[in-house]
Structure 1
Amino acid sequence: MKLERLTRRLIHLRQVANYIDSHLDGELTASLTLDELAGVARLSRFHFERVFADYAGETPLVRVRRLRLARARRLIEEGRVTSLLDLALDSGYASAEAFSRAFRAQFGCAPSSLSRQPDQGTPPIRIETLPALGIQYIPFEGPREDAMQAFDELRARAMMQNIPRERRKGWRVELSSTTSDGTVKLQAALLSERLGTHITGLQHGVLPAGDYAVIELQGGYEVPALPELAQRIAAETGWQACEGPILQSFHNATYLPSRQEKRCDLYVPVQR
């Protein structure tokens, strides 16, 4: 498959995942069909289910059921459920009994056995000294909302050279903040040492060595405003944010994680 075609396919699969995530609690009904999702992916139904499963590790409808049940569990643990039947219907099940069977199959316990969980709070900031690390990357400059397309191309290039998934540890190197017109400059990168080979079409660079405040981001990859980050870093650690690229290291083991499943570490350069 040609690079451009594979990249477009990955973009469309990401759009399908985003579509599912944004409709879990309403418009995406239990009668959702593969034809609808295949249309978002711009593939035939026959090819769509296979392609999605190969990339995401699960079929699209398994993803819908899994994420709906995960959402239901969060609502229970947050104390936001007043009726099990209403929760079942919102999760795409015709009865509380059917919902409970599916819930037990996924989590090993009945929904009624769960109780409200205390808020775990924000993970503490840690200071880490990062050595210089070689990277292979695709440069990107444009609207922030389009930046993920650089990572789609990055994955496509690695896939075309049969690089195993476990060696594709992704990093985002942000070289400038978003400007008033929405433009951002960054590098979509993979660690050279883990790759073990040169990937055609990628440039070579280095993650800069130095001291970083490492902040765990959960439930999305969005970077908070730098003044807010600097204030929090100083308050929690006594270190001061300084000039330099801001890095992100992505930790999800599978592609197309839902928003709530997204995990990454944000590296902000600091000094004493």
Structure 2
Amino acid sequence: MNKHTSLNRIELVCDYISHHLDQELNLDILSEVGACSKYHFHRIFKAYMGISAIQYVQMARLKRASFRLAFEPKYTITDIAYEANFDSPEAFSRAFSRIFAQTPSQFRARPDWHQWHARYDIHPPKRGNSMLEVQVVDFAERNVALIEHYGHPSRVLETAGKFIQWRKTTGLSPIDKSETFGIPYSDPSQTAEEEFRFDICGTHQGEVPENEFGVKAGIIPAGRCAMAIHKGSLDRIGETIYQIYQGWLVESGEETRDFPCFFRYLNFVHQVDECDLETEVYIPLK
């Protein structure tokens, strides 16, 4: 898949959204329209468009709502709110006011079109960072022990603590002799808290017996991957991920595989200063 094909797919998704505003538009549906793995679609869309697919859907619905308010008085604000897929007129008013700095009633009476146009002046981010070194590697399959985290990203460390306790209790995956991986199944900034999943994994010896920590056996599959090293705080690892999507992936013409991106931690904060952390970022490729 070349970069022009990638752009065509995003344009196809945007066109689909504009023609299906009254239908359900979630990431599963949109990734299928774009013929892209659901694990990567949200990041690829944001890399091209500068906003997430769900934000784009909301902005498209609010654009129609704006025209209804300004030019079609036969529609009540309540009608427009429900048409825009909001649960209530109050929720619609809050969202509209937050984005356009006018309530729906104020906009209907005297729309600030300058402010309105500014909100739709969307510029995709600059493509990549020439300083980031990305290479294509053949990743060998790993049998891992893993624990699944569900919930707010800020609580991942609590789940990591359980995995560390399992490691210490069983001795099957000593941290100094085993690899440690993290697998985010979506972008936490674009995922509802209750839907966010992050697996913490480690290579191990022997079988993974049943245990009180919820650790179980799993596999990170073999395959080609784009790999770059993120240096520094893990709080900013998203910047490296998006540099790969925005720059390297666009220019390379490569296509993502149906497995989420994942990390291999080369060191840890109890070993080095946070600024000296190094983490390999992998984007699975076809």
TM-score normalized by the length of structure 2: 0.46
TM-score normalized by the length of structure 1: 0.48
Higher strand share: 1
Q: Which one has the largest radius of gyration?
A: 2
Higher relative contact order (CA 8 A, sep 6+): 2
